[in-house]
Structure 1
């Protein structure tokens, strides 16, 4: 079975910039709960059908039983993908038969902010870890380094402090290891 190259996780490539200049009032975010292991297949189909989407993926390196190094790109939030479109796009996405349900997002601005932060963290190349539940903590802003201006909550861990960048709608997020001198309270 051939190993596929990394596929686009944003369509169009400038999705977040396009959202800022998009004047169509009928476009909104939809959180798509996909069938198991169907996120990338759905993303390919959405791109082919010209439906805007975001599928955050993370690089995963592993070795085969014979010792060969392999790289794959796994969804950061398994079984979830985000569509930015109107109800016609929503309907066309449902026709793919890869979707369990589509949920409307009540606060699209917050989701845009959250997804943009997750994307910035992924693009930095740092190791991020998915977190399935949000944990209460101090709200902070990163003051220096590749994550400068990211906002999130500090989560105390046994290995030190980490920043939790949340996608509030899913009640999930990612964590990034930071030093105390890199953050300030908001």
Structure 2
């Protein structure tokens, strides 16, 4: 019975996660598919603004990660693919992603092409943060309050405080200048 179970796991395909070189996600996805390996690189549509134009670009949803549906025998082929660093491990084994999780990601990216993955970084009142996109791009301010997925931010330039509400996905914690401060 044990031999039979081992034989089945060699041929049974599961979704695993590979870690790629930075900005190689779509290339790795294409290279794996050219080898006949089922690969999936979820993408999102982003509008980029340059000084002279706006352009919609397709970017990976997860930086440096690609999903592969393989059996044990295909693992070596995946590891040898240009741009693949290694598998993502959990408890000393390659991390297995359930089929329904991949299906949910596919559904979300299809129905919401501008979906975004937001880091669950800890942002608190008094933290110094910087805006990473939008009208106030690259401006720094102090967090007054966090409300769900939004941050109320005070900009302290021009000798006045401009208070604005930003989505968490549009700000970055500036750990060097975080100061404890309370607003009542």
- The two structures have a TM-score, normalised by structure 1, of 0.53
Aligned residues: 115
Change (3 A) 1:52 1:134: farther
Corresponding position of 1:55:
41
Q: 2:106 aligns with which of 115, 119, 122?
A: 119
What residue number does 1:17 align with?
A: none
Q: 5 Å matches for 1:15-164? A: 25-67=11-53, 69-103=54-88, 104-106=94-96, 108-109=97-98, 112-125=99-112, 127-133=114-120, 156-158=148-150
Counterpart-to-counterpart distance in 1, 2:74 and 2:119:
28
Determine the C-alpha separation between the residues in 1 that align with 2:85 and 2:104. 27
- Whether contact under 8 Å (2:44, 2:116) holds in the other structure is no
- Aligned-partner SS, 2:148: strand
User: What does the per-residue CA deviation read over 1:141-179, in whole Å, with 9 as the maximum and x for residues that have no partner?
Assistant: xxxxxxxxxxxxxx93348xxxxxxxxxxxxxxx9xxxx
Instruction: Please say which structure displays the higher CA radius of gyration.
Output: 2
Corresponding residue for residue 126 of structure 2:
none
CA, structure 1 residues 134+81, in 2 after alignment: closer, same or farther (shift >3 Å)?
Answer: farther
Runs of 4+ more than 4 Å apart: none
Give the match's secondary structure for 2:36.
Answer: coil
Which residue is 1:182 aligned to?
none
Deviation (angstroms), 1:126: 5.7
C-alpha distance in structure 1 between counterparts of 2:65 and 2:11, whole Å: 24
1:158 and 1:43 mapped to 2: Cα distance?
A: 34
Q: How far off its partner does 1:125 sit?
A: 3.1
1:70, distance to aligned residue in structure 2 (A) = 1.7
Counterpart Cα distance in 2 of 1:88 and 1:98:
20
SS at structure 1 position matched to 2:76: helix
The alignment yields a C-alpha RMSD, in angstroms, of 2.8
**Which range moves more in the overlay, 86-95 or 33-42?**
86-95
Unaligned runs of 5+ in 2: 1-9, 89-93, 123-146, 152-168, 170-184
Q: TM-score, normalised by structure 2?
A: 0.54
SS in 1 for 2:75: helix
